[in-house]
Every structure is written in C-alpha cells, then in structure tokens.
Chain A
C-alpha cells in the first residue's frame, strides 16, 4: 500500500493535481484546462487520477489552492485550504531552499513573491489587468495562428526584435497588428510580445521591489522559453524554471496538507470515489435586503452540503446538519 498526499490547484485556466509520497517525491501530476467549469474539470481530473494511480494507494491528506480553492475544498473534503501566494512560496522553497524571488504568471493573474531567510517577505499580485497574463498570450497566439506550445521556441529564432507596447493588452494588440502590416517577421513579432510582457510585468509588479537571485519562474507561462529569455535579458541573471513549473501551486498545497495532517492526525478527505459522485449547484437571489446577494447552494449526491455568497452570513452560517439536509 502506497501512502500519498494530494494537492489540488483549481485556477481560472487550468486545474492541476499533484500526488506526492511521504518522502516528498512527486508520484504523478495532472494538468487539465478548467474551461470555466471548475466542478466538471475537477471531477474529470479525479477520474483520470483515479485511473492512473494504482489501486493500492491510501490518501493521507488533501490540500487545495487557486481561485477555486473553497469550492474544491467542499467537493473533496480538504484538510487545508490555502491562498495561491502562500502555496507557491512553500513549493518554491521546497525546491530551491534559498530562493529570493518568485515570478509566477498564470492564466488570469500574475504575482511576484519576494522571500528572505526562507519566508515570504513581500508580494504583489495583479488581477485587474490582462496584459501581463497567460490568457493574453493565448489570445495573441490564436490571432497569429500558431499553437501556444510553439510560441517560445519561435521567439528564440528572432534575430532583430520588434518593440511592442506592453502597458495594456489593447495597445499591445493594435501595436502588434501595425507591426505585422509593416511586414515584420513573425518570429520577431513574437519575440517582441515576449519582451513586452516581461517588461510590463516588471514595471507593474516589480516596481520598487528588490529582485534578487536566485529567481524562480513558475506558473503555466513558465513553459514559454521566450518569456524566460526575455526576463533573463532584462534582469541580467539566470532564471530557474523548475521541472514541475506548471503545477507548483498544487505542490505547495500538497506540502501544506502534509504538515496539516501531521498536526491533526487524520484526513478529512472524502475518498477517490468522489469522482463518481454527482455535484449540483443551485443559486437564488436572496430578497431579504437590497443587497440581493446571489446565494449558492452546493449539493453532493443530491444532498445540500454548503451554502455561500451572502454578505450577512444568515445563509452561510446555517450549519448544514442532517435535519436540514432532509428539508433541502
């Protein structure tokens, strides 16, 4: 019987699962697209991971992170629910113990995390602006008609870079179209986009922050070698892209779950069979006050297990006990 811990990162673009053994060796990783349906994505991911892991495993603990962490925690019965920043920090520290800077670029947000003496010292996070995120690159790759996986290698082929305005996704796009029409090479334009993105990131998030090596680059965009090179060029130092760069959040959640279970002694995990459970969400607009909160009700196998979304707490605070499960 193999003992494992599971880390789950439900992000806006991807849903990732990592299985780790008690010696912190990574047994398996899974990366699938969320496609705006976190519940289905997570179910799908669990079906796959259940098939892939051998039957004789025992899950000792589960941690969740990412913007869908609370939802995932209710679905799975997680031992710990942690924000992405802490999870990414923990994972990076585990791989490069003296890491001082983490550059994390995901699908919908980007973060910079500064660490000193093995703890998170400062961080900044960007969510409102799309210019510095993976979905912007995704869209531009689509516009250029090249698969996102080849984006980075193409950028490396560039010989004379083209400067593209990186401050805002809208400006960048019109600037790019303009440069295209002038007849610039596709490689040069792609490289220009990579550099614009790195520049925008550093101007936005890195402003006033002391970026010291070792620098780790993680998140989905870290797979893009063109962006990595752009960062190296601007920062003038080597950048480490860890082997599991795209699932670092999930690795962090795993490590945190391991610590948590070591404290509590027992996991709250509901079992791998949750992949076969049915999950339903109903929502309604509460009419008790002018806030008109959209209250969400979450059902597992037709049983109401949680409510959230209300400002005042009069729905969310109701302990969903056996009795009102029957009522619902």
Chain B
C-alpha cells in the first residue's frame, strides 16, 4: 500500500509524519505547479471549483509516481466539497486507474465503518498506536502553523532582506528530508527559536490585513498566487483566518464534544448570517467583523470562481464594510496564471489603506 493525498498548504508534512510514525509508505504529490493544474483542468468538469482541479492533478501526479491508495477527508459538507470524493472517484475510474480511495468520514454516522477505514490506512488495529501517532502529528501541524503565522507577521519588518524566506525554505527542506514526527518536531522547535530572534525594525509603517474566505484558497499559496508574500513585500502584515491545524482540532475535538471554538466568530457574524449556509461563509463574515474590532486596516476575501457560500458572503460585504468601517477587497480566483490583474488590485487596495491610515493619523493630531 502506497498512500497519497491532496495538497493543501504545507499539511503534507504532518500527514507524512503521521504515516511515518505508523510505518505506512506515503507518496507525497509533487508540489502544485502549472502541470498539476493543467492535468486537473483537463479531466475535471469545466465549472467545478478550483480546489477539485488541483486535487485531481495531485492524484494523477502521485499515481504516476506509484501511489495506489488515495486518502481524502469527506464529510457531507454543505458545499460542493461534500461531493468531491465521489466525483473524483468516478473521474479516476473513467480514466482507467485502479486505485483505492479511502474517504475519512462516518457514512450516515456509522462509527464502526469510520474506524474500519482508519485502521485500513493505518495498517494496524491498535487504537492506542493510532491515537499516539495522530497526537504527535497534530503537534507537528500546530508548530508548523505557528511558524507560518510568524512568517506572515514578521516578514514586512525584517531588517536583512530575505532572511525569513531563507529560514522558511531551509525548514521545509529539513522537514521534507526527515522521517517521523520526532525528527520533524526537533527541526520545528529549532526554527521557531531562530525566527523569534530575527532582527526586526518595528518602527516601520506597516499595515495589517486579515485574509478570510474559502479555506483552500486561503491556505494553499499556489492557488492564491502567494498573496501573503506579495502583501508582505508591499509592507503589509498578514493574518490568515483559517489554518489546517485549527480546522482539524475543531473537527476532531471540539465538534465531537459538542463544543466549538467558533462560537465567538458566529456571534460576530450574527447581524448578517444567523446560521451555517455552507462552506465557511459564516466564518468569513464573522472573522471580517472581528478583524475590524482588532484594529486591522483591511480585509481581503478569497474564493474560487463559482464558490456558492462565498458569493453569498461577498454580497454582504458592502454593508459589513460600511457598518464596521473596514475596507474589504474580494478576489475571485480561477485557473488564470497571469498575475497582472491581481497585482493591480492588491496595489490599489494597499494604497487605499495607507491613505486612509495617514488621514486618520492627521485627524488625530489635529483634534
């Protein structure tokens, strides 16, 4: 059994840690590239959202490298993501690939079936071993998320150009070369310590932008044209409202206990969306309101073309913008690789925020 899985951000690292610990062989799909997208676009339905196309490209590239089992998360998500596994299965079948697809979900609440699937890919029935490996890989994930968060926060202040980028590249290379969660955690601890000590110029006039929207386009930097890095280079500190670590702990721990960390976000969204309408629409709205309260200068909403939940939240953005006094830019992402149009919008948005901020500062000094 050679397991593969779709990319979303850097999550391939903790996933690899998990299977390394369990002693299962994995094939990490090649980094998302133009080729991945081309492959995915060729075989996916034309109007499907972008993540499915990239996922499909990932599978095809992994199969080429010898993978025979694909692990994906499922869940009857109230957006098209809920159909992803079924559609992908059919497409791969039509293409004549003999691969096993394991969907991590409990069909109609069948926990026994869920455990059967887990033990199949884990290659063991030892629940304790599975639990321990899972815990250790979540530690890797959380530390990695923490590092990524610091990169987006600190990069606009760095005194030595590219220092953080180099540190980041080196960390990823080290993690890719490691086996198992123990080795990875050591690398992460080291890198986290170094990034704390990177010399920063805190006097710089840096803006703060929060990223909200559909989870895949927020997390996967290939799909969003590495918006975080682009904004950092324009002198903007960036925070992503969604991360894989939080998503996992929300799904695995809080929701199953009937709790949610997201109550605060939902509360903030209440004046605009009272209930879950699918995807992350409610979180998009709630996080936008929260960013405005936390003193962020602006919010950027990301979504793939034809994403229904995000289109609903996008239509609410004008009133959120007016009532909370925070500028919002919505960017719809599709398979275009030309970056010109996006850059123009980003630059104009950053200019807008900077002018607003300066104006506010003058007004403060005058009063």
Residues of chain A whose beta carbon lies under 8 Å from any beta carbon of chain B: 67, 82-86, 109, 117-123, 125, 127, 207-209, 289-292
Contact = CB atoms under 8 A, between A and B. Distances in A.
Contact of A127 (B341, B348, B349): B341
Which 9 A-B residue pairs are closest in the complex by CB-CB distance?
A: A85-B348, A208-B318, A290-B33, A290-B35, A83-B347, A119-B355, A86-B351, A291-B33, A83-B344
A118 B356 CA distance: 10
B30 interface: yes
B356 A119 contact: yes
Chain B interface, DSSP helix/strand/loop, else mixed: helix
A119 B351 CA distance: 10
A292 B319 CA distance: 42
A62 to B, nearest CB: 18
Contacts of B318: 207-209
B217 interface: no
B36 interface: yes
A207 B314 CA distance: 11
Given A119-B359, A123-B352, A84 B344 contact: yes
B307 to A, nearest CB: 16
A100 B351 CA distance: 17
Given A67-B344, A292-B34, A208 B356 contact: no
Contact of A291 (B34, B340, B343): B34
A122 B33 CA distance: 34
B183 to A, nearest CB: 26
Contact of A117 (B33, B349, B359): B359
A67 B341 CA distance: 8
22 contacts: A83-B343, A83-B344, A83-B348, A83-B351, A84-B344, A85-B344, A85-B351, A86-B351, A109-B341, A119-B352, A119-B355, A119-B356, A120-B355, A122-B327, A127-B341, A208-B318, A208-B319, A289-B31, A290-B35, A290-B36, A291-B35, A292-B35
Given A85-B344, A123-B348, A289-B31, 18 more contacts: A82-B351, A83-B343, A83-B351, A84-B344, A86-B348, A86-B351, A109-B341, A117-B359, A119-B355, A120-B351, A120-B352, A122-B321, A122-B352, A127-B341, A290-B30, A290-B34, A291-B33, A292-B34
A208 B327 CA distance: 14
B347 A86 contact: yes
Interface of B: 30-31, 33-36, 315, 317-319, 321, 327, 340-341, 343-345, 347-349, 351-352, 355-356, 359
B304 to A, nearest CB: 14
B231 to A, nearest CB: 14
A7 B149 CA distance: 40
Chain A interface, DSSP helix/strand/loop, else mixed: loop
Given A119-B355, A120-B351, A208-B318, A125 B345 contact: yes
Contacts of B352: 86, 119-123
Nearest to B356: A119
Contacts of A85: 344-345, 348, 351
A67 B348 contact: no
A84 B30 CA distance: 37
A119 B358 CA distance: 10
Contacts of B348: 83-86, 120, 123, 125
Contacts of B343: 83
A84 B345 CA distance: 9
A289 B35 CA distance: 10
A87 B309 CA distance: 34
B344 A208 contact: no
Contacts of A121: 327, 352, 356
A289 B321 CA distance: 41
Contacts of B36: 290
Contacts of A125: 341, 344-345, 348
A310 to B, nearest CB: 12
Nearest to A66: B344
Nearest to A209: B318
A83 B350 CA distance: 11
